[in-house]
Protein backbone atom coordinates (compact mmCIF):
# COMPACT_ATOMS: atom_id res chain seq x y z
CA UNK A 1 0.00 0.00 0.00
CA UNK A 2 2.80 2.38 0.98
CA UNK A 3 4.60 1.69 -2.30
CA UNK A 4 1.41 2.40 -4.26
CA UNK A 5 0.92 5.72 -2.44
CA UNK A 6 4.54 6.65 -3.07
CA UNK A 7 4.19 5.90 -6.77
CA UNK A 8 0.93 7.91 -6.92
CA UNK A 9 2.59 10.91 -5.26
CA UNK A 10 5.50 10.66 -7.68
CA UNK A 11 3.12 10.50 -10.63
CA UNK A 12 1.15 13.52 -9.38
CA UNK A 13 4.40 15.45 -8.91
CA UNK A 14 5.43 14.71 -12.49
CA UNK A 15 1.96 15.65 -13.73
CA UNK A 16 2.13 18.94 -11.84
CA UNK A 17 5.50 19.72 -13.42
CA UNK A 18 4.15 18.91 -16.90
CA UNK A 19 1.02 21.02 -16.40
CA UNK A 20 3.12 23.87 -15.02
CA UNK A 21 5.39 23.63 -18.03
CA UNK A 22 2.43 23.69 -20.39
CA UNK A 23 1.05 26.79 -18.66
CA UNK A 24 4.41 28.55 -18.94
CA UNK A 25 4.66 27.58 -22.61
CA UNK A 26 1.13 28.83 -23.29
CA UNK A 27 1.85 32.13 -21.55
CA UNK A 28 5.11 32.45 -23.47
CA UNK A 29 3.23 32.17 -26.74
CA UNK A 30 1.09 35.22 -25.96
CA UNK A 31 2.42 38.47 -27.42
CA UNK A 32 1.92 42.20 -26.98
CA UNK A 33 2.72 44.73 -29.65
CA UNK A 34 2.73 48.52 -29.70
CA UNK A 35 0.59 50.94 -31.71
CA UNK A 36 1.13 54.68 -31.67
CA UNK A 37 -1.68 56.75 -30.14
CA UNK A 38 -3.55 53.58 -29.12
CA UNK A 39 -6.90 54.54 -27.60
CA UNK A 40 -6.55 58.16 -28.68
CA UNK A 41 -6.65 58.02 -32.48
CA UNK A 42 -8.08 55.70 -35.11
CA UNK A 43 -4.73 54.26 -36.24
CA UNK A 44 -5.14 51.12 -34.18
CA UNK A 45 -8.75 50.14 -34.89
CA UNK A 46 -7.87 47.21 -37.23
CA UNK A 47 -5.76 45.71 -34.43
CA UNK A 48 -8.71 45.88 -32.03
CA UNK A 49 -10.94 44.26 -34.65
CA UNK A 50 -8.38 41.52 -35.33
CA UNK A 51 -8.04 40.71 -31.62
CA UNK A 52 -11.78 40.71 -30.92
CA UNK A 53 -12.53 38.44 -33.90
CA UNK A 54 -9.62 36.05 -33.34
CA UNK A 55 -8.01 37.02 -36.64
CA UNK A 56 -4.49 37.11 -35.21
CA UNK A 57 -4.92 33.61 -33.81
CA UNK A 58 -6.27 32.44 -37.14
CA UNK A 59 -3.14 33.86 -38.80
CA UNK A 60 -0.95 31.99 -36.35
CA UNK A 61 -0.06 34.42 -33.54
CA UNK A 62 -1.72 35.17 -30.21
CA UNK A 63 -1.76 38.94 -29.73
CA UNK A 64 -3.21 39.49 -26.28
CA UNK A 65 -2.77 43.21 -25.89
CA UNK A 66 -1.68 46.50 -27.39
CA UNK A 67 0.83 48.73 -25.61
CA UNK A 68 -0.11 52.38 -25.92
CA UNK A 69 2.44 54.96 -26.93
CA UNK A 70 2.58 58.67 -27.65
CA UNK A 71 4.93 58.21 -30.57
CA UNK A 72 8.43 59.51 -31.17
CA UNK A 73 11.90 58.08 -30.69
CA UNK A 74 11.29 56.76 -27.19
CA UNK A 75 8.41 54.66 -28.46
CA UNK A 76 10.55 53.21 -31.25
CA UNK A 77 13.32 52.28 -28.83
CA UNK A 78 10.80 50.66 -26.48
CA UNK A 79 9.33 48.64 -29.34
CA UNK A 80 12.69 47.42 -30.57
CA UNK A 81 13.69 46.37 -27.05
CA UNK A 82 10.45 44.49 -26.26
CA UNK A 83 10.05 40.66 -26.30
CA UNK A 84 7.98 40.93 -29.49
CA UNK A 85 9.60 43.90 -31.23
CA UNK A 86 6.82 44.88 -33.61
CA UNK A 87 4.90 48.11 -33.56
CA UNK A 88 3.14 50.66 -35.71
CA UNK A 89 4.68 54.12 -35.52
CA UNK A 90 4.63 57.40 -37.41
CA UNK A 91 6.89 57.44 -40.46
CA UNK A 92 8.75 60.40 -38.97
CA UNK A 93 9.60 58.39 -35.85
CA UNK A 94 10.83 55.43 -37.91
CA UNK A 95 13.05 57.61 -40.09
CA UNK A 96 14.46 59.48 -37.08
CA UNK A 97 15.31 56.18 -35.37
CA UNK A 98 17.00 54.89 -38.52
CA UNK A 99 19.11 58.05 -38.70
CA UNK A 100 20.21 57.40 -35.12
CA UNK A 101 21.52 54.03 -36.19
CA UNK A 102 18.84 51.84 -34.62
CA UNK A 103 18.57 48.45 -36.29
CA UNK A 104 15.06 48.54 -37.70
CA UNK A 105 13.14 47.47 -40.77
CA UNK A 106 9.88 48.83 -42.11
CA UNK A 107 7.80 45.76 -42.93
CA UNK A 108 4.30 47.04 -43.74
CA UNK A 109 2.26 50.20 -44.18
CA UNK A 110 -0.25 51.18 -41.51
CA UNK A 111 -2.22 54.26 -42.53
CA UNK A 112 -2.22 56.20 -45.78
CA UNK A 113 -4.57 59.14 -45.37
CA UNK A 114 -4.78 62.38 -43.42
CA UNK A 115 -8.57 62.45 -43.54
CA UNK A 116 -8.73 62.51 -39.74
CA UNK A 117 -7.00 65.92 -39.63
CA UNK A 118 -8.77 69.26 -39.99
CA UNK A 119 -8.61 72.95 -39.17
CA UNK A 120 -11.41 74.65 -37.26
CA UNK A 121 -12.38 78.15 -36.22
CA UNK A 122 -15.15 79.84 -34.29
CA UNK A 123 -18.58 80.02 -35.97
CA UNK A 124 -18.45 83.82 -36.41
CA UNK A 125 -14.81 83.93 -37.54
CA UNK A 126 -13.93 85.79 -40.75
CA UNK A 127 -11.70 82.83 -41.70
CA UNK A 128 -13.72 81.05 -44.38
CA UNK A 129 -10.99 79.39 -46.46
CA UNK A 130 -7.28 78.58 -46.52
CA UNK A 131 -6.58 81.91 -48.24
CA UNK A 132 -8.01 83.75 -45.24
CA UNK A 133 -5.25 82.35 -43.00
CA UNK A 134 -2.72 84.86 -44.34
CA UNK A 135 -1.93 87.30 -41.54
CA UNK A 136 -3.64 85.09 -38.96
CA UNK A 137 -2.55 82.90 -36.03
CA UNK A 138 -3.08 79.14 -36.08
CA UNK A 139 -2.69 76.79 -33.11
CA UNK A 140 -0.62 73.69 -33.83
CA UNK A 141 0.26 71.01 -31.28
CA UNK A 142 4.06 71.37 -31.43
CA UNK A 143 6.81 72.66 -33.73
CA UNK A 144 7.96 70.12 -36.33
CA UNK A 145 5.05 67.86 -35.42
CA UNK A 146 2.55 66.24 -37.76
CA UNK A 147 -0.01 68.99 -37.20
CA UNK A 148 2.42 71.69 -38.37
CA UNK A 149 3.52 69.52 -41.28
CA UNK A 150 -0.04 69.06 -42.54
CA UNK A 151 -0.77 72.77 -42.17
CA UNK A 152 2.31 73.64 -44.22
CA UNK A 153 1.40 71.07 -46.86
CA UNK A 154 -2.10 72.54 -47.17
CA UNK A 155 -0.71 76.08 -47.44
CA UNK A 156 1.75 74.97 -50.11
CA UNK A 157 -0.96 73.14 -52.04
CA UNK A 158 -3.14 76.27 -51.99
CA UNK A 159 -0.29 78.62 -52.89
CA UNK A 160 -0.28 80.48 -49.56
CA UNK A 161 3.03 81.87 -48.25
CA UNK A 162 3.61 79.99 -44.99
CA UNK A 163 5.58 82.91 -43.56
CA UNK A 164 2.34 84.90 -43.57
CA UNK A 165 0.72 82.45 -41.13
CA UNK A 166 1.86 82.56 -37.50
CA UNK A 167 2.00 79.10 -35.92
CA UNK A 168 1.38 79.00 -32.18
CA UNK A 169 2.46 75.87 -30.29
CA UNK A 170 -0.32 74.85 -27.92
CA UNK A 171 0.99 71.53 -26.61
CA UNK A 172 -2.10 69.57 -27.62
CA UNK A 173 -5.34 69.58 -29.59
CA UNK A 174 -7.54 70.46 -26.61
CA UNK A 175 -5.10 73.21 -25.63
CA UNK A 176 -5.38 74.62 -29.11
CA UNK A 177 -9.16 74.80 -28.80
CA UNK A 178 -8.75 76.65 -25.51
CA UNK A 179 -6.58 79.24 -27.26
CA UNK A 180 -9.22 79.51 -29.96
CA UNK A 181 -12.00 80.01 -27.40
CA UNK A 182 -9.95 82.76 -25.79
CA UNK A 183 -9.39 84.43 -29.19
CA UNK A 184 -5.63 84.00 -28.77
CA UNK A 185 -5.55 82.35 -32.21
CA UNK A 186 -7.80 82.53 -35.26
CA UNK A 187 -7.92 78.81 -36.01
CA UNK A 188 -6.74 75.52 -34.53
CA UNK A 189 -5.72 72.15 -35.93
CA UNK A 190 -7.86 69.22 -34.86
CA UNK A 191 -8.08 65.46 -35.26
CA UNK A 192 -10.83 62.86 -35.12
CA UNK A 193 -12.65 61.76 -33.07
CA UNK A 194 -12.23 65.02 -31.09
CA UNK A 195 -13.32 67.04 -34.12
CA UNK A 196 -16.58 65.07 -34.24
CA UNK A 197 -17.19 65.37 -30.52
CA UNK A 198 -16.76 69.16 -30.67
CA UNK A 199 -18.27 69.75 -34.12
CA UNK A 200 -21.28 71.72 -32.81
CA UNK A 201 -19.00 74.30 -31.24
CA UNK A 202 -16.62 75.02 -34.14
CA UNK A 203 -16.73 75.54 -37.89
CA UNK A 204 -14.45 73.48 -40.11
CA UNK A 205 -12.22 75.50 -42.44
CA UNK A 206 -10.89 72.42 -44.23
CA UNK A 207 -10.39 68.68 -43.99
CA UNK A 208 -6.75 67.90 -44.78
CA UNK A 209 -7.70 64.77 -46.71
CA UNK A 210 -9.67 66.89 -49.19
CA UNK A 211 -6.53 68.84 -50.10
CA UNK A 212 -3.55 66.52 -49.56
CA UNK A 213 -3.23 63.40 -51.65
CA UNK A 214 -2.87 60.01 -49.92
CA UNK A 215 0.47 59.50 -48.20
CA UNK A 216 1.99 56.95 -45.87
CA UNK A 217 1.52 58.24 -42.33
CA UNK A 218 2.38 55.19 -40.20
CA UNK A 219 4.33 51.98 -40.74
CA UNK A 220 4.96 48.66 -39.04
CA UNK A 221 8.53 48.22 -37.83
CA UNK A 222 10.66 45.51 -36.27
CA UNK A 223 14.33 44.62 -35.83
CA UNK A 224 16.29 42.81 -38.52
CA UNK A 225 17.27 40.26 -35.88
CA UNK A 226 13.65 39.46 -34.96
CA UNK A 227 12.61 39.30 -38.61
CA UNK A 228 15.30 36.74 -39.39
CA UNK A 229 14.74 34.71 -36.23
CA UNK A 230 10.92 34.72 -36.26
CA UNK A 231 9.76 35.28 -39.86
CA UNK A 232 6.60 33.21 -39.44
CA UNK A 233 5.46 35.16 -36.38
CA UNK A 234 6.12 38.46 -38.16
CA UNK A 235 4.16 37.30 -41.20
CA UNK A 236 1.31 36.23 -38.92
CA UNK A 237 1.16 39.66 -37.24
CA UNK A 238 1.03 41.43 -40.60
CA UNK A 239 -1.54 38.97 -41.99
CA UNK A 240 -3.70 39.28 -38.87
CA UNK A 241 -3.68 43.05 -39.15
CA UNK A 242 -4.57 42.81 -42.85
CA UNK A 243 -7.55 40.65 -41.92
CA UNK A 244 -8.54 43.26 -39.35
CA UNK A 245 -8.41 45.99 -41.99
CA UNK A 246 -10.56 43.98 -44.40
CA UNK A 247 -13.07 43.23 -41.64
CA UNK A 248 -13.23 46.92 -40.73
CA UNK A 249 -14.00 47.87 -44.33
CA UNK A 250 -16.39 44.95 -44.77
CA UNK A 251 -18.40 45.61 -41.61
CA UNK A 252 -17.85 49.19 -40.44
CA UNK A 253 -20.83 49.01 -38.08
CA UNK A 254 -19.22 46.20 -36.11
CA UNK A 255 -15.91 48.08 -36.06
CA UNK A 256 -17.69 51.21 -34.83
CA UNK A 257 -19.35 49.26 -32.03
CA UNK A 258 -15.93 48.00 -30.96
CA UNK A 259 -14.50 51.53 -31.17
CA UNK A 260 -17.37 52.74 -29.00
CA UNK A 261 -16.54 50.18 -26.31
CA UNK A 262 -12.74 50.22 -26.39
CA UNK A 263 -12.25 53.95 -26.94
CA UNK A 264 -15.17 55.01 -24.70
CA UNK A 265 -17.05 56.95 -27.39
CA UNK A 266 -20.75 57.47 -27.93
CA UNK A 267 -22.37 55.43 -30.69
CA UNK A 268 -22.97 58.41 -33.06
CA UNK A 269 -19.36 59.63 -32.71
CA UNK A 270 -17.89 56.16 -33.19
CA UNK A 271 -19.97 55.42 -36.29
CA UNK A 272 -19.27 58.81 -37.88
CA UNK A 273 -15.54 58.44 -37.23
CA UNK A 274 -15.36 54.97 -38.77
CA UNK A 275 -17.50 55.95 -41.74
CA UNK A 276 -15.20 58.90 -42.45
CA UNK A 277 -12.08 56.75 -42.34
CA UNK A 278 -13.65 53.97 -44.42
CA UNK A 279 -14.62 56.53 -47.05
CA UNK A 280 -11.04 57.79 -47.26
CA UNK A 281 -9.51 54.29 -47.12
CA UNK A 282 -7.35 55.44 -44.23
CA UNK A 283 -6.06 51.98 -43.34
CA UNK A 284 -3.74 50.27 -45.79
CA UNK A 285 -3.83 46.49 -46.08
CA UNK A 286 -0.09 46.75 -45.66
CA UNK A 287 1.37 47.12 -49.16
CA UNK A 288 3.90 49.82 -50.04
CA UNK A 289 3.43 52.69 -52.47
CA UNK A 290 6.55 54.68 -53.35
CA UNK A 291 4.62 57.82 -54.31
CA UNK A 292 2.82 57.85 -50.96
CA UNK A 293 6.07 57.28 -49.07
CA UNK A 294 7.75 60.12 -50.96
CA UNK A 295 4.81 62.41 -50.25
CA UNK A 296 5.35 61.94 -46.52
CA UNK A 297 9.09 62.56 -46.96
CA UNK A 298 8.26 65.80 -48.76
CA UNK A 299 6.12 66.89 -45.82
CA UNK A 300 8.89 66.10 -43.34
CA UNK A 301 11.29 68.23 -45.35
CA UNK A 302 8.87 71.16 -45.03
CA UNK A 303 9.24 71.12 -41.23
CA UNK A 304 12.98 70.47 -41.29
CA UNK A 305 12.71 66.92 -39.97
CA UNK A 306 14.33 65.49 -43.07
CA UNK A 307 17.09 66.58 -45.38
CA UNK A 308 17.61 65.03 -48.80
CA UNK A 309 16.11 61.84 -50.23
CA UNK A 310 15.19 58.67 -48.34
CA UNK A 311 16.67 55.33 -49.40
CA UNK A 312 13.43 53.38 -49.03
CA UNK A 313 15.01 50.25 -50.52
CA UNK A 314 17.40 50.14 -47.58
CA UNK A 315 14.68 50.53 -44.95
CA UNK A 316 11.73 48.68 -46.47
CA UNK A 317 11.49 44.90 -46.69
CA UNK A 318 8.46 43.38 -48.44
CA UNK A 319 9.58 39.84 -47.65
CA UNK A 320 7.14 39.44 -44.75
CA UNK A 321 4.04 40.67 -46.56
CA UNK A 322 1.40 38.16 -47.71
CA UNK A 323 1.80 37.22 -51.37
CA UNK A 324 -1.09 39.42 -52.52
CA UNK A 325 0.39 42.48 -50.82
CA UNK A 326 3.83 41.86 -52.29
CA UNK A 327 2.24 41.91 -55.73
CA UNK A 328 0.40 45.17 -54.96
CA UNK A 329 3.48 46.97 -53.60
CA UNK A 330 5.01 49.66 -55.82
CA UNK A 331 8.58 50.38 -54.87
Going from N- to C-terminal start, the domains of the chain cover 29-113+215-328, 117-210
Q: Mean of the pLDDT values across residues 173-188?
A: 97
Confidence category of residue 312, pLDDT binned at 50, 70, 90: very high
Q: Report pLDDT digits (tens) over 273-298.
A: 999 999 999 999 999 999 999 999 99
Q: Give the H or E element holding residue 225.
A: helix 224-229
CATH for 29-113+215-328? 3.40.190.10
Give me the sign of the Cα torsion angle 330, 71, 93, 121. positive
Q: Mean of the pLDDT values across residues 312-331?
A: 95
Q: Mean of the pLDDT values across residues 157-175?
A: 96
Q: Mean of the pLDDT values across residues 187-204?
A: 95
pLDDT surpasses 50 at 115: yes
CATH class of 117-210: alpha beta
Residue 35 near residue 69 (C-beta atoms within 8 A): yes
Cα 207 versus chain centre, distance: 19
Residue 212 near residue 114 (C-beta atoms within 8 A): yes
What is the distance between the alpha carbons of residues 66 and 52, in angstroms, rounded to a whole number? 12
pLDDT surpasses 50 at 208: yes
Cβ contacts of residue 310 below 8 Å, gap of 6+? 95, 293, 294, 297
Cis ω for the linkage preceding 193 (within 30 of 0) = yes
- Do domains 29-113+215-328 and 117-210 share one topology? The answer is yes
Q: What pLDDT score was predicted for residue 29?
A: 59
DSSP 241-302: HHHHHHHHHH-HHHHHHHHHHHTT--HHHHHHHHHHHHHHT-B--S--BHHHHHHHHHHHHH
Q: Report pLDDT digits (tens) over 1-54.
A: 334 334 434 433 433 333 344 333 333 457 899 888 787 778 889 999 999 999
- Report helix angle 267-280 to 252-262, nearest 10: 130
Amino acid sequence: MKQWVARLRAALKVSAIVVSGLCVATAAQADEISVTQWGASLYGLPYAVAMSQGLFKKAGVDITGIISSNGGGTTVRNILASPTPYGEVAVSAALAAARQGLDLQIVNVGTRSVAEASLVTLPDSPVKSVADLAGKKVAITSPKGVSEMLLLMVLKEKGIDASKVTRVSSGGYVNGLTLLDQHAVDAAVLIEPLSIIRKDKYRTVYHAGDIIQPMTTSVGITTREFAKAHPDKLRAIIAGREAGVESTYGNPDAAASLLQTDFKLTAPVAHEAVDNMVRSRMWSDGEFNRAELDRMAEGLRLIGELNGPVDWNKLVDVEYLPTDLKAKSKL
